[in-house]
Amino acid sequence: MDLFLKILAAVPVTLFVTLVSFAIGALLALPLAAGRRAPYAIVRVLSKAVIDILRGIPPVVFIFILFFGVGSSVIRWDPVVASIMGLGLISAGHLAEIYRGGLLAVPAGQFEASSALGLGRATIFANVIGPQAFRVAIPGMVTWLISLLKDSSIVSTIGVVEIMFVTNQAARSTGEGLLPFVIAGAVYIAIGSPLAALSRWLEKKLSFGRRG
């Protein structure tokens, strides 16, 4: 019981790291997704390269580069800040691709029709294309949020006191090898499952009326 409460007490830190990184990623992904559709080839190539790098380096390696690498030679930072930066950047790469999928799902006719009506580019994106693309992207975004929740467990390796860190400590100090990890796993599943159900529900609901 004591063990359970100890692990439970670390849940807010996990949620904080997850949600803040997600928010940062969701914002940074906007220019990246836009870059993928820019009129200049060089911008498109650069955006694609940035996305590939963010998605291609294992999250724990990326966080090590930021925390130990950049942290030892450029600026010294707090593990929580480094974690949020790292997971936020990785999220930006993944969410940019999810946004792109949403944008691709909006029929070209919508764009042509709004141009024909004389709407400006900004208005078209904010009021016509954006909302439709977003609708398609939402289930993917929730799925990424679940991944991120699980990925946040790796920041225990740089000393952030979240679920996994506390679990590790408990496993070492109590000599109970298995139980702490079973509890931690259960806690992650308990947080992730409702999100997974939400994603499935949204997918059904939002795809309604989109066919044909």
Partner 1 sequence: MELLSDWLEWSPRLLSGLWVSVQVTALSLLVGIPLGLGLALLSSVKSRVVRILTMIFIEVGRGMPAIVMLQMVYFGLPEFNIVLDSFTATVVALSLTTSAYTSEIIRAGLRAVPDGEIEAADALGIKRLDVMRFIVVPQGFRIALPTLMGFAILILQVSSLAFTLGLPELLSQAYSVGASTFHYLEVLTLAGLMYLVITVPGGWLVENFEKRLSRHLS
* C-beta closer to partner 1: residue 53 or 113: 53
Neighbours of 36 (CB within 10 A): 20
Part in contact with partner 1 (CB under 8 A); list of ranges 25-33, 104-112, 127-135, 162-170: 162-170
Q: Which stretch binds partner 1 (CB under 8 A): 35-43, 78-86, 113-121, 169-177?
A: 169-177
Q: Does 157 bind partner 1 (CB under 8 A)?
A: yes
Told to check if 196 binds partner 1 by CB under 8 A, we report: yes
For the bound state, the minimum distance from the C-beta of residue 153 to partner 1, rounded and expressed in Å, comes to: 4
The least distance separating partner 1 from the CB of residue 184, rounded to whole angstroms, comes to 5
39-78 residues near partner 1, rule: CB under 8 A: 52-53, 55-62, 64-65, 68-74
Contact 191, 145 (CB under 8 A): no
Residue 185 interacts with partner 1 (CB under 8 A): yes or no: yes
- Residue 13's nearest CA partner among 180, 163, 169 is 163
Q: Is 177 in the site for partner 1 (CB under 8 A)?
A: yes
**Non-local CB neighbours of 196 within 8 Å, separated by 6+ positions:** 143, 146
Nearer to partner 1, 29 or 151 (CB): 151
Contact flag: residue 181 with partner 1 (CB under 8 A):
yes
Does residue 154 belong to the site contacting partner 1 (CB under 8 A)?
Answer: yes
The interface with partner 1 within residues 111-130 (CB under 8 A) comprises none
Where on the chain is the footprint of partner 1 (CB under 8 A)?
52-53, 55-62, 64-65, 68-74, 150-151, 153-154, 156-157, 164, 167-168, 171, 176-178, 181-182, 184-185, 188-189, 192-193, 196
